[in-house]
Every structure is written in structure tokens, then in C-alpha cells.
Structure 1
Amino acid sequence: MRSARLSPLLYASLLALAAAAMPARAALFEDDEARKAILDLRARQQQNDEATRARLDKLVQEQIDPLRRSILDLNGQIESLRGEIAKLRGQNEQLARDLSDTQRKLIDQSDALNTRLKPLEPQKVSLDGREFNVSPDEKRVYDGAMGQVRKGDFDEAAASLNGFLKQFPTSGYADSARFWLGNAQYGQRSYKDAITTFKAFLAASPDHPRAPEAMLALANCQIELKDTKSARKSLQDLIKAFPNSEAAQAGKERLAALK
């Protein structure tokens, strides 16, 4: 049997077809490999991403949890401090109320004490052109005695004024008390006692505003006792010492009547 022989043209065509088929199969193979490589790459990338997220989550969790606990502890401390502050504020308010109550009580006690002490405090008085301080007792006894003088109760007035001078010998009232004692004794017609009192008054306070009246009263007592010589001398001394006083004018009239 004769073997079949291909014509050169057919042979060339077959070769061309085979050559064309081979690249197609190679290209198909290459596409599958590339797709598989891409899928593998995507899988690995996804795994890497998930691992990265897990590490980040773990890292964040490790950092956030202590921070969260710290914040919670801080909030607890803040609340505790708020409670302490509120407690202290309440204590301060109570202390302020207690202090206010104490101050008010002290003021009330001070006012009450001043009220009790006020009657015992020295008082400034002005009498016969002079100012001086006296105790409440001095003023009370002196005013009482002067009330008796004004009523004409000379016996009681003389006793009260004598008692005053013994109780308060250095009082600012002493000169005036002595002057009015002489007048009360004159009203009692105790002329000798009155003379002694007026002389003591003039010896102690020769410049007293009532000295001219005392000298005239002294002369009147001497006239009542018929001691004209002494009366004349007292009137002359009055006119000489206090020439412009009303007592001196009255003394001139009394002196003229004695002549």
C-alpha cells in the first residue's frame, strides 16, 4: 500500500492551524493562573487586613480599657470630692449660722450689760458754771436734797446736805451743797451754824459764782444775831470784792440801813 503523501500546501495549512491553536491554549492557561494568583493575593490581603484589624482592636482595647477604668475612677473621685465639698459647704454654712448666732448673743449680752452698767457710770454735769463728773449715787442724793430745799423743807434739806458732804467730801457738788446747806440752816434760823457753813464755803471757793450771795447771806446771819460790826465788815468785803454783782447792790442797801 502506498502511503499517502500530503501536498505541501495542505501541510502548511495544518501547521498554521496548529500554531494558532497553541497560543489560544497558552493564553487560557495564563488567564486561569493570573485569576488564581489574584484570588490568592486577595485572600492573603484579606487575612492581613483582618489580622491588622485584630491587632489594632487588641491594641486599642488594651489602651482604652485602662483609660476607661481611669476615667471611671476619676469620675468616682470627682463625685466623692463633690460630696465632700457639699459636706464642707454645709458645715461652713452651719458654722456661719453659729457664728452669727454667737455674735448676736454677744451683742445682746453687751447691750444688757451696758444697760445694767449705765446707771453706774459717771455722768458729766454742769452746775454753777462748772462741769464735772459725778457718780449716779452722788447725783441722786444731791438732787434729792435740792428737792427738799425747793420745797422749803429746811430740816430735811439740812440733814440731807450734811449727809451728802460726809458721804462725798470731794464731790464736784461739794461747794454747791455747802452753799445750800448754809441757806437751809438760815431757813432753820440756825444762824451760827449757817455762819460757819458760809465761811467754810467762802474759804474753799472764794471765786465761786455764788460767792457774792454767800457773803450777803453771811452778813444777814450776823444781822439776825445782832452782830452789827461783823455784818458791816462782811458787807464791805462783799462790795469791795464783787462791786458789780447784784449781791453787792443789795449789800449797799443793807449797809446803809445799818448806819
Structure 2
Amino acid sequence: MKPNTFLAAIILVSGSSQLWAAPAAVSDAAGSNQTIEQRLSVLENLMRNRNLIQAELQTQLDQLQDEVSQIRGVTEEQSYKLEKVLQRQRELYQEIETRVTQVYEQSKQLQPAVTPDSATAQAVSTDLSENEAYDRAVALIMKDKRYDAAIPEFEGFLKQFPNSVYIPNAHYWLGQLQSIKNQDDQAMVHFRTVVDQFADSNKRPDAMLKLGTLLQKTGQSAQAKTLFENLIKEYPSTTAAKLATERLSKI
């Protein structure tokens, strides 16, 4: 073989090798591109799943927050009701304590004045009858929680003992009981009796507050405002005056 022919053959073989090698490089690149696409697809799926999980968790969190708000609202409502019950019990116990003190003071005043045994017996018996009647009416509220039955008991007490020292208290409790039954007109009559006729009664501030509240409830805001203002002026340091201030701000 001539040198030129041999060189040409080498070049031809070398070119053929390059031509055969080129498709292999293209094939490798294609395989590499396919792997990247797969990886991107996996990442997209992961991101999509993560977003779905986050959205689901946010929804659950919102639901939990709503439930917590509802529970908080129920708790606050129950606390308010419990406080009202405790306040009513405190009023009742205070009422009993005041009444017992009055009875004790009255008995001390009567002792020097009576000398015969028969007179003493009759005076004490009359006093005990009055107190027993009042005890029975109060017990229906405090012990038995028989509010409907307590109303005729207090009404009977007013008729039987029209000059009793407990008359303003009886009117006050009748107002309370009828207010509970939504008998607003009857309740206002009793509260107004305490306010207008018993200026020295310890129930008068509370009666003013209750009467003002019922006046406001029945649309008589001007009268309620005047009553609340008088209550705050006459009894500034009482709980009733503080409550009247709150109600006055809403008129």
C-alpha cells in the first residue's frame, strides 16, 4: 500500500469512529435530561403535598380556635350565672343576719318594759308569730327554691302584719320574685313602694336599682335615668350605685 493511500485509510477510519461516537454522546445527554425531569416532578409532588398538608393543618387550627372561642364563651356565661347565684345567696344570708339582729335588739328593748309573766309571754308570742311568718316566706326562697309558693306567703304576710318592720323587705322580695316571673308591672309596684315609702330601709338602694332596670326594660328610659342618678347621688358607695352607673352609661 502506498503511503498516501495508507494515510487516507487512517483518516477514514478515524472519521468513522468520530461519527459512531457522536450518537452515544447524544444518547447520554438525553438520559441525563430525563433524570432531571423526574427529579423536578418528584419535587413538584412533594411541594404540592406539603401545601395540601399545610392547608389541612390551617383548617384544623381554625376549627380548634373556633372551638376554644366557643368554650371560652360558655365558660364566661357559666361564670356570670354562678356569680349571680352567689350574689343572690349573699343577699339572702345578709337578709337573715339583719333580721336576726333586729329581732335581738327588739327583744332587748322589750325586756325592761314588761314585768308580769303573762304580759311577757303574750308580747314574745306575738313577736315570734310575726317572725315565724316571715321566716316561712324567706325559707321558701332560700332553702326550698319554691319561688311560686313564696309569692302568696309574702302577700299574706303583708296583710297579716301591715305594721311589721319587715314590710319593706316583703315588698322587695315580692318585686324580686315577680321580676323573675317577668311580671314587670307587679314587680315595679313593689319596688316603687320601697323607694317611695321606706326611705330608711336598707333595701331601698337595691329597690331603686331594680325599679330603674325594669323602667329601662319597658322603654321608660327617661324615668330610669332619673332614678339611677338619684341612686348614685344618695347612695354613692353602694354596690347598687356602681351597677346603676354601668346601666346609666347604656341609656
- Taking structure 1 as the reference length, the TM-score comes to 0.48
Larger radius of gyration: 1
- Taking structure 2 as the reference length, the TM-score comes to 0.49
